[in-house]
A and B are shown apart, each in its own frame.
Chain A
Amino acid sequence: MDDALQQLMALVARLPGLGPRSARRVVLQLMKNRETQLQPLLAALQRVDAALSACDICGNLDTRNPCRICTDPKRDPALLCVVADVADLWALERGRLFAGRYHVLGGMLSALDGVGPDDLSIAQLQARVAGDPPITEVVLAMNATLEGQTTAHFVAEALEGLGAKVTQLAHGVPVGGELDYLDEGTLAQALRLRRPLA
């Protein structure tokens, strides 16, 4: 097989969720549909590559800088949601769940992975919260893992005294979850954070 094709398959195989076999299928599909799939994909990749950058304000990845979210006038500038990664921001945006703006930390604290406070954009977050426009609430949307929660506690401490209310996503029974199948950690947290119905 041609070296260029081999290289293309090797590159596709390195993408998340794909292996060598699925990479071969993807490449074959693109080759068979050169005009309807390969060329539009190539053009889209080139357009994104030419314009892609991390937003100077929030850290989101977009083809504009500042990103569309930071420049959207319909969003509430007093609300800020802090996420660990761009993937988390996109997850929240998929459901259009949050009406405010975002701040991407760029990871979670982990000594094992060599990520310390200086590797995260915590100083930029503090500057945003203390600066203009005034931010009234910071929502910490971190994973319910030890690393996620350790990072959330650290960020909450870093934001103390800056005047914004700091809140965190709720943890408990997921929508559609059956109690019988939940682990006891989730159940215990759900019980601890129970709320009155009437």
Chain B
Amino acid sequence: MLSFDDEALVLTTLPHGENGAVVRFLSLTGGLRAGYVPGARGKAKRALIHPGNRVALHLSARAEGQLPGATLELLESRALLAFEPRAAAMLAWLAELTATATAEAVPHPRLAAALDALLTGLGAGMDATAAQAALARYELLLLAEEGFGLDLTACALGGPASDLAFVSPRSGRAVSREKSSGQPWEAQLLPLPRFLLDGGPATPADVAQALTLSAHFLRAHWLNNDLREATRNRAIGSARPTP
């Protein structure tokens, strides 16, 4: 008998049957969880399963390996995010990325806390640069949580840690400006914006570099289809359909 209780963030819903849905959640302490919510698309419950909502989640199943039934209670609605273009695009990407990139039932408390904080910030009207900086940090955190983290603590070539300015596109390790200067492979390195190291403020140019950095490593694992790339582009505001 499986029984699981936690606070969780709603990520994605897959319609099932006449009115139900299989919903994926990111539990604050228990990682990615899926559950069947009967009547989820009916009048009474459909507002509960809006992506981004923070809910009190109860999962129960008769046996391990069986899709559990889920009951939810709304703790904080994030429905308003859908009505703001930038926030909606970012929420769609965050939900898609988190639901597809994280392993099921592996605890990711840092990731859940970061996602919750980012959604709270979006709801509070965080400005575009700050939101995109937070998105880049979140993507890098997700990579780290899944075992593909960048090593930004020291120079891969033994240079000073205070001079880190690039990341190797292959190893994901930081490289100092001094050690890379004049090397034949210097142009292939990815710029490492300072705010990712010291947590300081970011300019739009810094944010663009950070998003290029996270996209490069995401591409190797999850950004391997055009639709995901398009969803991410909308989230970072670079997609503009042409007539």
Contact = CB atoms under 8 A, between A and B. Distances in A.
Contact of B227 (A17, A111, A184, A192): A111
A183 B82 contact: no
Given A114-B227, A116-B226, A116-B227, A186 B79 contact: yes
Contacts of B213: none
A146 interface: yes
A158 B79 contact: no
A114 B89 CA distance: 16
Interface string A35-61: 000000000000000000000000000
Contact of B243 (A115, A117, A148, A158): A158
A14 interface: no
A103 to B, nearest CB: 15
B88 interface: yes
Contacts of A192: 80
B51 interface: yes
A183 B37 CA distance: 17
A122 interface: yes
B47 A185 contact: yes
A189 interface: yes
- The main secondary structure of chain A at its interface with chain B is helix
A130 interface: yes
A7 interface: no
A140 B61 CA distance: 41
B77 A188 contact: yes
Contact size class for B?
Answer: 35 or more
A126 interface: yes
B56 interface: no
B109 to A, nearest CB: 25
Nearest to A188: B80
A15 to B, nearest CB: 12
A184 B74 contact: yes
A108 B85 CA distance: 15
Given A112-B12, A185-B77, A186-B47, A149 B96 contact: no
Nearest to B76: A184
A185 B230 contact: no
Contacts of A17: 18
A117 B50 contact: no
A109 B230 CA distance: 10
11 contacts: A111-B92, A111-B231, A112-B12, A112-B99, A116-B227, A146-B92, A150-B82, A185-B50, A185-B77, A185-B79, A186-B79
Interface of A: 16-17, 109, 111-112, 114-117, 122-123, 126, 130, 144-150, 153-154, 156-158, 161-162, 171, 183-186, 188-189, 192
